[in-house]
Structure 1
Amino acid sequence: MLDEIISHYKILKKIGAGGMGEVYLAQDTRLFRQVALKFLPASYQYDPARRARFLREARAASALRSPNSAAIHDIGEHQGLGFIVMEYVEGELLSHRISSGVIEISEAIDVTAQIAEALDEAHSLGIIHRDIKSSNIIVKARGLVKLLDFGLAQITNYIQQDAAQYQTSILDQETDTNKVNANQTLERNENHGATIAFDHPCPDPDPGSGHREQTSGLGADIGATIALDENISSTQASDANEGQTIALDEYVAATQVLEDTNSASQTRQPSNASEGTIQRPFSQSDSEDQATTIGLVMGTVPYMSPEQAMGLTLDHRTDIFSLGIVLYEMLSGRLPFLAESQAQLIQNIVHQQPVAISQLNSKVSSELERITRKCLEKDRELRYPTARELIYDLQRLQKENKTIALSESASLQPPQAVKNRAPAKPLIRLRFCLLKI
């Protein structure tokens, strides 16, 4: 694809890849500027509902005007693959900066406040990001922070509608499967020369043969949807998407654990797991960019909110939880929830409280700890109700920290010597004049 011209964009190089597509640096041959082209997974071309949702959400996200949001310039299609044309942002990924060491307190507060500004505008338009993580945040040379991938956000007004459509599609697929099975049985009982009209749409290579080839919409989209056929294993579905999706059996095991903690021993563990293995962030060992898709469950597992991990209906507060994880990561140098498998990680996100940041970084104040904890409340009713209220607390803390720093700096300055003042000469002259008179 390098040097290929798509529409009026010349592909220069590949700059990233993940479960939700590949990203290329391109040159806009009309406006002579560099842009980022993100190609969506091939599975989108087989799902009209998903394609329609992508167009609707991309159009909504293109309305964002915050300087902290990477702009969406255009959307298009090339050889059946949809793509988004986004602002190309030069800078350092926050994930790379964190890997180099703990972020300074003032910078961590500033980065969080800028991302909250981007979210405040998006949420006011009914858009939730659903994939806030340090690898989706870029810090530019002059300190401006940009939040990426708003093109894959979701409009809250349509979440219930999408969920209903998804459930309906599953029922329709089950009905179609039953119809196909019934028609196949009927075909075997009829004369071999008879032509059977299948209700399930499929190609007919030879109308005169009396046989129509059965095709499954699920088979064309393995790895992007939940396989309903028991003969299609979730392992195949995971491998088809290069490990970027949560394996179905592991996700089901995790949700069963959440419903009944006594069945935790039944969840699938990695084959190479052994006793005494040190826990580590799952994302750091398997993939830096774990975009996941199971039905309507989308996001990167280590940064998911409890309701997102459980597949519940989301609102804007899921982004506040994920931003709290990023803040925790900047201050401590590690993720708040660690596990050896995705199933265990989901359980920890829902049930486990993270280690106090002050135990990992003594410079973190009790107030900053409180702010982070409020973002990470399991119950979304206890989190910050809006990104704006989080911004207020961060700005107030930043101001207090600057005041304390100035007072401490002043206390370290040596006291200045008091200069002796000269005698009041005008008074002496006045006395001399009175004596002379």
Structure 2
Amino acid sequence: MATARFCNGCLKPIPMDAPQGLCPECLVKGGFDTEGHPPTAAPATPPEARFMPPTPGELANAFPQLEILELLGQGGMGVVYKARQPQLDRLVALKILPPAAGRDPSFAERFTREARALARLNHPNIVSVYDFGQAREFYYFIMEFVDGVNLRQLEQSRRIAPAEALGIVPKICEALQYAHEEGIVHRDIKPGNILLDKKGRVKIADFGLAKLLDKEANDFTLTRSQQVMGTPHYMAPEQIEKPQEVDHRADIYSLGVVFYEMLTGELPMGRFAPPSQKVQVDVRVDEVVLHSLERDVERRYQHVSEVRTDVESITGIMEKLPPTMRELKTDVETISKRAKSRLRLWTSEFGILLASWLAPAALWNLRSSGLFVAALILGALFTALTSRRAQLVPALAQSWNHLSRAQQRVNILGAVFVAFLGYCFLIGALETRWEAAPSRWQGRAIEKFAASYKGHEHILVRQLTAFKEQVPTVELSPSSFTWRGFWQWGWGTSGPHEGTFGWLPILLSGALASLCLALVLWSLVAPWRLREMFGSFWLTALRHGAALTATALLSALAAYMAMTVADMFDYSGPRKWLNRSVRGQFTAEQTAQAIEEWAQRAGYATGDQASWLLATVPKGEVVGEVRLIQAWKPSPFDRWRMTWRGLKRISPHLVLKTISGSNPVETVVNVDSIKPPEDPRLGQKWKTTLDDLESAIKNAPGEPSTAGE
């Protein structure tokens, strides 16, 4: 037994005053080498008590039942020898602890616990324990001998192909899932503890830091207060910050580190790039790795079987042998839980977004300022749901966590603004669609007018006094069109547009709304460096943003349909129309001028106007003119008012049809408007409007003759 002081890392002789008990080489490495060196746990024995590994000859007397062949290596909790059991004629691995460890009761108890924990494990991907105990001053294991290399040695000898890494990880997952189900946490998953034999089989070794989850709380005394166990770069954050509260999810984090290192050859330290930016690998692997490396245990994978399922879904690699009933049950439960989780997420998002349409409904009667506030509320709520979804996606959560607090605040404001614009366009699209809905107005569009009277032109001509006795054969010949109903987006400026651009304004607004909402998630988590804004997370952000946008559009459609159904009940039964007609001895121009002057006084806007000539067939002699004029309140807030049953029309939408003859000079004006809902006040308002219009036409230059309703 050596009496000099040795390096805690490599066991080289060092001066007694060596800093931190390390040689210069280990100091340069920072004391954080990953294989064959002390764990982060404060050593149970002082550095001076460290010992040189005994030679096989020195161990022969302590283990007469074994043939000690050679030293395999030294780890943080002991040294391992290759040995042979003559009676069974098999090779085994002998692991012993330093004799000085026996003087520390906690270290000895921890050793006993490790042995008992390993003895309970019987899995093809876990190193088996054959025996354990104490021989003289040595505490020992007799374990399965794995003829091969560990993952660290394989990484040092050559680069591991991504396909190999994707094949190794499911095996590690199987072993860990089995151990976790037995209530055992490894807590020191690293390349040195993952062995591969010559047949390519994966084995996990060294459960020396295992924690039995089914023990009583007082078992924590075996782990000293604030004592950290593990290997630094592979340890989960909670192993350092809250070592007393470590559970099986710490192994998932360590597995994520090992997975990342196998793929890239680097450790995921600081602001690291996703694997797909380092090697050619499916971008979906990024989500698996980053999800495993979540600092928050609640956002990390909750079971290692989920990691296995995701990896195998990417690679398509499935076990050739049928799984056991337990493994099959675990896989089915994992898939079922993931499906239920996604369904709950979508359902909650849809419900919240659907309920949020109460804001525009409640604030509609406040006019433009009310809808401005409503769009801001909707935008902020959509951003909050976007942030929630980003936290559930590892690649997006990582991008967000790498932003400074100031950058996060700016991104939040930017995302709210983009969502606000999206909802402005979406509200505009819904309002425009509402105006064009058939349930709101059944009048014919201008471009359909001539076609609707094809073969029935006599109905128009016979209204003129000159042709009451004899109706000539005539046809409608287009004369002029004035598109005053040009669609303008914006609250208070859009008007009925069906006769002008059809669905174009609605589709344009919907497309702009979808684009804005789909970019909210990206604008929320996007880094500020231009070269990083379109990194691997870009497609992930767009995919999840598009999914949330689709949910928002579906909720908007559902809200629109609910209001339409309510309106159908309000307008149930046959449609009733208000019709007025005025006949007078004035020209078409005089009539149009009188209508325009009335519209200015009454606060109405005249929309699309068109005229057709009535020409005889076959001579082509012009015997009259037909004009069609639409009139409505210019602002939607003057056309509609929100009630508990939805939007209700509060001012009539008028269609004026003038039929003029030249010999004699005569004009007949037909005014059509759908009747309002059964509301006495609205009925009186409709009547007053039509009375004023009739009076204005009668007062046009000329000689009015009759009027009727």
Normalising by structure 2, we get a TM-score of: 0.35
Write the mapping of 1:1-80 to structure 2, written as runs, cut at 5 A. Answer: 1-3=55-57, 4-5=60-61, 6-80=63-137
1:113-165 deviation per Cα after TM superposition (whole angstroms, max 9, x unaligned): 10110000000011011111111111222221111112442212348424346
Cα deviations by residue, 1:33-82 (Å, 9 ceiling, x for unpaired): 11111112334311234323422331122121111101011102122221
Q: Contact 1:296–1:311 at 8 Å: present in 2 too?
A: no
Once the two structures are superposed, the pairs formed by residues 252-291 of structure 1 within 5 Å of their partners are none
Instruction: State the distance in 1 between where 2:135 and 2:290 align.
Output: 45
Bigger relative CO (Cα 8 Å, ≥ 6 apart): 1
Question: Which of 348, 351, 373 is equivalent to 2:290?
Answer: 373
What's the secondary structure of 2:91's corresponding residue?
strand
Deviation at 1:30, TM superposition (A): 2.1
Alpha-carbon distance between aligned partners in 2 of 1:158 and 1:355, rounded to the nearest angstrom: 40
2:56 touches 2:70 (CA, 8 Å); kept in 1?
yes
- The letter of the residue matching 1:355 is A
After TM superposition, give the deviation of residue 12 of structure 1 in Å: 0.9
- Rate the CA distance shift 1:374–1:166 in 2: closer, same or farther, 3 A: closer
Question: For residues 202-241 of structure 1, what are the structure 2 equivalents within 5 Å?
Answer: none
1:145 paired to 2:76 = no
Q: State the secondary structure of the residue aligned to 2:72.
A: strand
Partner of 1:230: none
- The 1:153–1:7 alpha-carbon spacing in structure 2 relative to 1, beyond 3 Å, is farther
Partner of 2:237: 306
Amino acid at match of 1:382: R
- Matches for 1:309-348 after TM superposition, within 5 Å: 309-312=240-243, 313-337=245-269
Please tell me whether the aligned partners of residues 58 and 152 of structure 1 are also in contact (alpha carbons under 8 angstroms). no
Aligned residue for 2:239, secondary structure, equals helix
Distance 1:74 1:97, change over 3 A: same
Q: 1:159 to 1:308 in 2, by over 3 A?
A: farther
Aligned to 1:110: 167
Aligned residue in 2 for 1:358: 276
Distance 2:77 2:267 in 1: 22
* Structure 2 CA distance for partners of 1:159 and 1:96, relative to 1, 3 Å: farther
Deviation digits for residues 73-130 of structure 1, max 9, x if unmatched? 1102122221111111011221122123432222101111101100000000110111
Q: Map Cα deviations across residues 162-197 of structure 1 (whole Å, 9 max, x no partner).
A: 434666xx8xxxxxxxxxxxxxxxxxxxxxxxxxxx
Is 1:163 equivalent to 2:244 in the alignment? Answer: no
Please give the alpha-carbon distance, in whole angstroms, between the structure 2 residues aligned to 1:159 and 1:111.
34
| Cα distance change on mapping 1:399 and 1:95 into 2, 3 Å | same
* Equivalent residue runs for 1:235-254 within 5 Å: none
| Residue identity matched to 1:304 | M
Q: Verify the 8 A CA contact 1:84 1:151 in the aligned structure 2.
A: no
SS at match of 1:384: coil
Q: 1:157 to 1:47 in 2, by over 3 A?
A: farther
Residue 353 (structure 1) shift? 4.2
* 1:208-232 superposed Cα distances (whole Å, 9 cap, x missing partner): xxxxxxxxxxxxxxxxxxxxxxxxx
2: distance between equivalents of 1:75 and 1:327? 32
What letter matches 1:368 in structure 2? V
CA offset at residue 18 of structure 1? 2.3
Q: What amino acid maps onto 1:357 in structure 2?
A: P
Checking the alignment, whether the CA contact within 8 Å between 1:320 and 1:375 is kept in structure 2 is: yes
Q: In the alignment, residue 2 of structure 1 is paired with which amino acid?
A: P
Q: CA deviation at 1:29?
A: 2.4
Q: Counterpart of 2:17?
A: none
Write the distance in 2 (CA, Å) between the matches of 1:107 and 1:159. Answer: 40
Change (3 A) 1:86 1:395: same
Distance 1:360 1:2, change over 3 A: same
> In the aligned structure 2, how far is the partner of 1:29 from the partner of 1:127?
32
Alpha-carbon contact 1:101-1:333 (below 8 Å) kept: no
Does the CA-based 8 Å contact 2:117-2:210 persist in structure 1? no
SS at the partner of 1:24? strand
> Is 1:98 equivalent to 2:155 in the alignment?
yes
Q: Which runs of 5+ in 1 are unaligned?
A: 171-294, 338-351, 402-437
Going from structure 1 to structure 2, the CA distance change for 1:133 and 1:159 (only over 3 Å counts) comes to farther
1:215-251 CA-partner distances (Å, limit 9, x unpaired): xxxxxxxxxxxxxxxxxxxxxxxxxxxxxxxxxxxxx
Secondary structure of 2:155's aligned partner? helix
Cα 1:164–1:400, aligned 2, differ >3 Å: closer, same or farther? closer
Instruction: For residue 390 of structure 1, give the secondary structure of its aligned residue in structure 2.
Output: helix
Superposed displacement of residue 385, structure 1? 0.7
Residue aligning to 2:489: none
Q: What is the CA–CA distance in structure 2 between the aligned matches of 1:390 and 1:364, rounded to whole Å?
A: 17
- 2:299 pairs, out of 382, 392, 399, with 382
| CA gap 1:162/1:302 in 2 versus in 1, 3 angstroms | same
Separation in structure 2 between the aligned mates of residue 400 and residue 388 of structure 1, nearest angstrom: 15
CA distance in 1, matches of 2:69, 2:171: 30
Distance 1:166 1:21, change over 3 A: closer
For residue 316 of structure 2, give the secondary structure of its aligned residue in structure 1: helix
Structure 1 pair 372–118 and aligned structure 2 pair: CA distance change class (3 A): same
In structure 2, relative to structure 1, the CA distance for the partners of 1:88 and 1:400 (3 Å cut) is closer
**CA distance 1:400–1:157, change in 2 (3 Å):** closer
Cα distance, 1:56–1:93 mapped onto 2, change above 3 Å: closer
Amino acid in the other structure paired with 2:261 = E
Q: CA deviation at 1:359?
A: 2.3
Matched, 1:131 2:188: yes
Change (3 A) 1:79 1:301: same
Report the CA distance shift for 1:400/1:143 in structure 2 as closer, same or farther (over 3 A). closer
> What amino acid maps onto 1:356 in structure 2?
P
Contact 2:110 2:222 in 1 (8 A): no
Structure 1 residues 166 and 386: CA distance shift in structure 2, 3 A: closer
Contact 2:77 2:208 in 1 (8 A): no
Sort the Cα spacing of 1:104 and 1:166 in 2 relative to 1 into closer, same or farther, 3 A: closer
Aligned to 1:380, the other structure's residue is in SS state coil
> 2:124 is paired with a residue of what secondary structure?
coil
Secondary structure, counterpart of 2:141 in structure 1:
strand
Give the 3-state SS of the residue equivalent to 2:130 in structure 1.
strand
List runs of 5+ in structure 2 lacking aligned partners: 1-54, 319-709
Please, what is the CA RMSD of the aligned residues? 2.2
**Structure 1: which amino acid aligns with 2:286?**
E
CA deviation string 1:333-387 (max 9, x = no partner):
11112xxxxxxxxxxxxxx4432222221x1221011100011000111111111
* SS of 2:214 mapped into structure 1: helix
State the distance in 2 between where 1:69 and 1:165 align.
Answer: 24
Q: Give 3-state SS (helix, strand or coil) of 2:290's partner.
A: helix
- The alignment's TM-score, normalised by the length of structure 1, stands at 0.56
- 1:389 Cα offset (Å): 1.2
